Structure 1
Amino acid sequence: MLSGAFSTIGGYWKPLIGLALALFGAATAVMGVGVAIAFSTVAANWDDLTGPGDPDMAQLVPMAIAFGVLMVIGVVTYLLASAVVQAAIPVVLQEAVLGRPIGFGTVWSRAWSRVWSVIGTVCLMGLILVVPILLITAAIVAVMVYATTLDDTDGVLVVAMFGLFGWLVIAPLAAWLWVKFSLAPTIVVFEGQRPVAALRRSSQLVRGSWWRVFGITLLAFGLASVVGYMIQMPIQALGSLPGTMDPFSSGTEPSGEELLVLLGGFMVLSMISGLASQLFSSVFPPLVVGLLYVDLRMRNENLAPVLAEAAARTLPEQYGPPPAGPA
């Protein structure tokens, strides 16, 4: 699975990395413009905010609202970009398993047509995971309220034991549900299913192969996290260089503009490193999950002959009809 994912990235890096770079780059640009506007607002009111006395609430409220709106816009933008990328990966994989090329425009149009179904599926998966966690958390809170009526020692012991038991129940249940429905976003694109039908289909395919799907998926996400950290680490270190040089060691107090420049530079480098890390972490794990989907269908539904037949039909289209042999 892992070697297949790397091979697919190597052979189809233009539509995969290109689309992800365009989407996450646009999201980062939107965030960058918002951060620039926010910093310009802070710089314009820096003397009033850092002057003697407490800052006026009338000055703080508009800034807090601006930063809140910026955060919401950033989250929505990145979620939409992630959804399009997650829908685009199965589109590329559909052609990759047949050995057919695919262009950027085709990937975009087909992915965008399924993006809202992917968002609905992911939200439904999150809701399924959250409901049992909320129920167990409510039970823990109820026990904590009951424990307050007991002696101090007994109450603390009851809360600790029940809290530990609750987490021991939540963690396996969440992992089981996550793996059970992990193929649903891929199914939405591959088979054109609606969210509920895709969840049922994922449960059907994973049945009997839960541990295998869990192990390979966990390894893919772990590898993506390690690679993402290795990408971010040197850029983050570069961003901390101005602080290690200590340009204000002369004893003079840095001005507000100088602090904003340093903070702004660090945030720009953080955005760049986050974008570079996001390119790999957003492509590699869903690609492995998509290959798992194809593999399970080959094992359980005899998909290999269908793919071979489809690939054979594409050969005349790409290379022309075979030469005529002897009668």
Structure 2
Amino acid sequence: MPPAQAGIGWPSTGPVPYGYQAPPKPGIIPLRPLGLGEILDGAFQACRRNPLSTFGIAILFQVVIAVITVLLTFGLTGTLANLDPVTASASQVTGLVASALSVGSVLVLLTSAGVLILQGVLIIPIARAVLNERTGFAQLWKLAWGRILPLIGLGLILVLLWTVSVVVLVLIFVGLSLAFEEAAIAIVIVGILLAIVAAVWLNIKWVMAPAALMLEGVGPITALRRSWTLTTRNWWRTFGILVLTAIIVSIITQVVTAPLSFIVFGFGSFTTDPASAETALLESLPVLLITQAVTAVFTAIGFAFQAGVTALLYVDLRIRREGFDIVLLRENEARTQGRATSIPGRSAGGTFGHPGDRGPSNQPGT
């Protein structure tokens, strides 16, 4: 074989073709389209290398949500304890129900906003770990602070979209039920199932929006469009990886917390005496608190890991569609020369493609 042909991939007797070079791996992943194992391992490695800015942020989030929940439900619990269901007036019951709905709505909104902010913030240390950059706790907030308001704006837009969608669906269900009274139950059941399918599909289509908003510096609307574009022809793959990650995290959490739950159950079981039951409940209170604390910690760790998987999926989708690995390779070279950027991809000037654009992915999907 002529020497000039040795570098263009001619077959050889060995397992590696002549001229083949493995893709560079400056950080947690190789700069090429990723497999499932590489995404999962990369997310774990990124969290392990940046524990304070990943696990620490997630645990802090859980603590804040727990404190807010206790404060909001403290007064409601006292009112419920003092309410006599036999002698309570209609106005008291109505006020209690209204208070419970208000507290529940506030908790749902706060939790949703917190989850969105946490997901967006955690994307930064994961993305920086791709180029082997470590991110401290204070540095993370310094990099993310300027994008918090756009991230909240993205959350408000999503809440508005989901609220309008629910209202429209309810109106459609009511109209169809009135028009076809005999088939009203069937219409509602089929409509709910279709609504769940549509909600799952849209959620996957928009799941990359926080990553696009934080890493590309775009606005909320553009971030939603970017997520829609990136997941096109990759819907099923994105859906499968995210569902598998959620199952893995759930299993690990259950394996850790199930023994503690059995211990708590054992303290309050096998007795019919109310006094003994009350004593057993008081004795099991420390174990119950420890169980809740361990569950919260592992939930936070699992959420940080899931955020890492989402961030690496975003990087992988950009590599497949836009040749993002070339941008990262250039930034890695600049980093070795002391010209590193704070957030990977930001040096591309906010553009989504370049002369090395690979075009649409060949992955099957929606």
Q: TM-score, normalised by structure 1?
A: 0.75
What pairs up with 1:171-210 in 2 under 5 angstroms?
171-210=196-235
Letter in 2 for 1:172: V
CA distance in 1, matches of 2:110, 2:126: 25
Q: Does 1:128 align with 2:128?
A: no
Q: Does 1:3 align with 2:31?
A: no
Gaps of 5+ in 2: 1-38, 340-366
Gaps of 5+ in 1: 149-154, 319-327
CA distance in 2, matches of 1:196, 1:167: 28
Change (3 A) 1:124 1:145: same
> Aligned residues: percent identity?
22
The CA deviation at 1:140 is 2.4
Secondary structure of the 2:307 match is: helix
Secondary structure of the 2:233 match is: coil
Secondary structure of the 2:176 match is: helix
Change (3 A) 1:251 1:77: closer
CA distance in 2, matches of 1:300, 1:77: 35
In structure 2, which of residues 57, 69, 77 is the aligned counterpart of residue 19 of structure 1?
Answer: 57
The number of residues matched between the two structures is 301
What pairs up with 1:59-74 in 2 under 5 angstroms?
71=104, 74=107
The CA deviation at 1:218 is 2.1
In structure 2, which of residues 138, 153, 156 is the aligned counterpart of residue 105 of structure 1?
Answer: 138
Q: Does 1:310 align with 2:310?
A: no
CA distance in 2, matches of 1:253, 1:147: 57
In structure 2, which of residues 118, 121, 136 is the aligned counterpart of residue 88 of structure 1?
Answer: 121
Change (3 A) 1:143 1:126: same
CA distance in 2, matches of 1:137, 1:71: 21
Whether the 8 Å contact between 2:47 and 2:126 is mirrored in structure 1 is no
Whether the 8 Å contact between 1:15 and 1:103 is mirrored in structure 2 is yes
Q: Does 1:244 align with 2:269?
A: yes
What pairs up with 1:32-71 in 2 under 5 angstroms?
32=70, 41=78, 54=87, 71=104
Secondary structure of the 2:199 match is: helix
Change (3 A) 1:127 1:270: farther
CA distance in 1, matches of 2:201, 2:101: 35
Letter in 1 for 2:194: V
Instruction: Judging by fraction of residues, say which structure has more helix.
Output: 1
**1:277-296 Cα deviation digits (max 9, x unpaired):** 43134222222121111111
Larger mean CA deviation between 128-137 and 199-208 belongs to 128-137
Secondary structure of the 2:174 match is: helix
The CA deviation at 1:89 is 1.3
Larger mean CA deviation between 193-202 and 4-13 belongs to 4-13
The CA deviation at 1:67 is 6.4
Q: TM-score, normalised by structure 2?
A: 0.68
Whether the 8 Å contact between 1:85 and 1:282 is mirrored in structure 2 is no
CA distance in 2, matches of 1:56, 1:221: 45
Whether the 8 Å contact between 2:123 and 2:211 is mirrored in structure 1 is yes
CA distance in 1, matches of 2:72, 2:172: 42
The CA deviation at 1:222 is 2.6
Secondary structure of the 1:24 match is: helix
Secondary structure of the 1:100 match is: coil
Match of residue 318 from structure 2: 297
